[in-house]
Structure 1
Amino acid sequence: MTTDTPARLLQLLSLLQTPREWPGGELAERLGVSRRTVRRDVDRLRELGYPVQATMGADGGYRLVAGKAMPPLVLDDEEAVAIAVGLRAGAGHAVAGVDEASVRALAKLEQVLPARLRHRVSTLQAATTPLTSGDGASIAPETLTVMASTVAGRERLRFAYRAKDGSESRRLAEPYRLVSTGRRWYLVAYDLNRDDWRTFRVDRVSDPFATGARFTPRELPTGSAAEYLRQSIHGRQDAYEYEVEFAESVDFVASRVPAWVGRPEAVGSARCVVRGTSGGPMEWLAVRLAMVGCDFVVRRPEELLTCVRELGGRLSRAGCL
């Protein structure tokens, strides 16, 4: 019998979060209490915001239903490990759809995981190999979670950074947001060493350390972190603008291109145009355009058109071998 009321409520909540209906008698037996106590505990959960539905009759019971807001979840060891492994696997690559919210969830979960479960998560991830490695460079999940926690906690961050030319430096920054482009993660932060706003590629960050020093967030020069990142990429010397027309509908192309490529705009019932700016390898963009799975024409720049033609030629020659 569970005499500690908070512990009993957590145990009851854990049972109700299993997607089934629990007869009152079975809950009472599981908890080692009377049916009357089960009814009182259910009322307490409702007061805390958990939408527990009761059905009357001999076959009646209790079940947790969807509410207006998501209350805290109670996870057992296996469930916590499964969620952590899934989030870590997705966070290691900037896969489209795995955005800052996913990293924040991982940071919160790993913060409360007992040491024995953190070890199980690390062991399981180290023992498995994904079939695909995503579109971008690999990132240690710990790097993302440390950054996410400093963003949420408004805490200054120290880290080592490797620039594009290979030079290395130590940085102290006030992290503002993590932004995923679909291929890579970026940190938008105020660099205290440079006394200015900067964007950092997370795959070039190492040894991130939360200093514990709090700060009041500064106002970005632009409206959002995503817009600031776009302008930062656009202003790079190696950045280039492109325009590509696809012989398919907007819906078809939108379902095939990641967000970092661009948002398609209709130019007819069965054609659309995608415009964007990239600072990444032109060869990779050419491959990604070909992966859309329909005919397309590169409107600009000429260098991208040349790259696509060369890629097409290599693929044609490969098919004749």
Structure 2
Amino acid sequence: MYHPTTRVLAILEMLQSRPGISGAAIAEQLEVDRRTVRRYITMLEDLGIPIESTRGPYGGYRLRPGYKLPPLMFSDNEALAITLSLILAQRQGMSVEPAATAGALAKFERVLPEALRERLQAVRDVVTFAPAPAAAFYPSSSTLMGLSLAITRGERVLLRYQSGAAETERRVGPYRLGFPRGRWALAAGGQRPPAKRAFRHIRTSRRVGSAEIFAH
């Protein structure tokens, strides 16, 4: 059912996702006997991958803690899902920084096997998406992550945003970040939680000290 090389790579993926997996579980997954599993484990060790094993009824295999794993391996379905997600973010204006999304997609495609890369390129060429809004705004990565962290922790932020033709600042308590109708928007309260509104065209944000935290 599987090529030996495919089985060896599958074992490596199991060791990454299920540390301590037993030889019996690996054998069942790959449809081989336990002696074959041990042979594949030896092949990985010969490649310089440090694998620790424990004996007994609760024993199993795991990668040595702290070992830097080789590049990630993706199935065809996983590669397609990642490619479509990046393309959708790019073409719908959801990218926080368009250059970052384009760079991530280029790096991802470079590590794919040539045959898979060719198939994914065909998908990119023929699949169409509705165009992004003409005035789509891209917050920076630091702004998006900072606001998300503030919402998670219940912290207030000092927000700079566009109000008409003017740019203004306001201290707010954010509680939701969304992408309605193709534009990033932040739902936040004012000095008191009941005073709530939505902010768009966010420029920068700065988290305020813990003394400003309130429960929403």
Give the structure-2-normalised TM-score: 0.50
Give the structure-1-normalised TM-score: 0.36
* Structure with larger Rg: 1
